[in-house]
Amino acid sequence: TFIALIALVAVAFADNAPYRPAPSYKEQPAAYQYQYAVADDYAGVNFAQNEARDGYATNGEYRVALPDGRTQIVTYNVADAYSGYVADTFITLLALVAIALADNAPYRPAPYSPAPTYKEEPAAYQYQYAVADDYAGVNFAQNEARDGYATNGEYRVALPDGRTQIVTYNVADAYSGYVADIDLFHQPFNTNKMQVCSKVEKDNHSSQTFIAFLALAAVALADNAPYKPAPSYKEQPAAYQYQYAVADDYAGVNFAQNEARDGYATNGEYRVALPDGRTQIVTYNVGDAYSGYVADVRYEGEPKTFIAFQTFIAFLALAAVVLADNAPYKPAPSYKEQPAAYQYQYAVADDYAGVNFGQNEARDGYATNGEYRVALPDGRTQIVTYNVADAYSGYVADVRYERET
């Protein structure tokens, strides 16, 4: 009876309900810039890229050294939201000129060989993926198919306010540019079945009629409807373990890490071979949700530079004994110890092997600052920021985690 009374009140007030527009969100224009370069003579790779964007206006350049000695340069830009992606490709031929032998070398005409030609194959592919992680609160998916210039795709993501944003895009040919259509829905989507969500009606009158219909249906079924409690989801504690090791004698790097987690309880160890011959070992743990991150840093081995210095001093001492009888008195030379000063950085990103890490460090005397980051198998990035202020304060490390969005 009570449900029936509520339903009748809803019907009576459905036509007079005040209009409330859906909340609007101001989209911030994208603004960024980046650049990188890789030159590895041993592996025979040399490429670089830079890009800057302010709103829709985008400019960039990508260059790569080809196996035949040429360098391919792709300059691209997007002027606004309508003009599409425009790319221009240049190929430059690298020539070697023997200037030192030019005056005396006999003339020998080079044999004629036509420049190689490359037939550009039209791109053709298709892919799709979906991610649904209730623990992390992320839910998104994408699919795309391309045949030559003709491209069609869709990307959808669950927003924090409960809506689902769907971007449908296509490129018809080489001239029409990128065309995108963006829709927002109020119900979250299912990434497993890719179900399309019910679209929010813009007409307030239609919404009121639908509410009245639901109210009448509730009156008819109120007495006989079986009780069904709302589904509950038990949050699962995080549980994982991983380990990796890198030993590259050619590049002079040697490091490894292992970590195991069960809920909040976490234990791990990271070790790296230092340039002076020692091994730095960081053992860390988290006891529970309140105790925080606890790290212990220790070193194994002796510095090679210190041993070499001792050997050098011993050699000078023996030479001094042999020449002591006849040599005129000369006070022992003094050496002013120079404070250590250096800086370095490196990065490794290998999608095929699934590793992505990097480090940078700068030192001036005892003052040292650095950062080490590594992509973890669960999608997060572990970042260790460390510093040494002076000769007495010791090594201080801060560990945090970032998750890619």
**Nearest of 69, 30, 21 to residue 46 by alpha carbon:** 69
Give the list of residues 6+ apart from residue 219 with CB closer than 8 angstroms, or none.
Answer: 3, 4, 7, 8
- Residues forming beta bridges with residue 282, ordered by sequence position: 270, 297
**Rounded distance, CA 169 to CA 12, Å?**
44
CA dihedral 325→329→330→332, nearest 10 degrees, is 60
**Rounded distance, CA 178 to CA 111, Å?**
47
pLDDT at 101: 47
pLDDT at 97: 36
Mean pLDDT by 10 residues, the chain (405 residues): 58 62 79 92 90 91 88 90 76 40 58 77 89 87 92 90 90 86 70 40 50 58 65 83 91 90 91 88 90 88 66 71 66 83 94 91 93 90 94 90 78
CB neighbours of residue 156 within 10 Å: 23
Cβ 59 vs Cβ 52: under 8 Å: yes
pLDDT at 127: 92
Give the list of residues 6+ apart from residue 284 with CB closer than 8 angstroms, or none.
Answer: 266, 267, 268, 269, 270, 293, 294, 295, 296, 399
**Rounded distance, CA 6 to CA 12, Å?**
10
Question: Which ranges in 248-403 belong to alpha helices (H)?
Answer: 304-322
pLDDT at 237: 83
Distances (CA, A) of 67 to 40, 47, 97: 14, 12, 19
**Rounded distance, CA 193 to CA 196, Å?**
9
**Nearest of 281, 304, 283 to residue 294 by alpha carbon:** 283
**Rounded distance, CA 374 to CA 307, Å?**
33
pLDDT at 401: 92
Enter the pTM of the model: 0.25
pLDDT at 178: 82
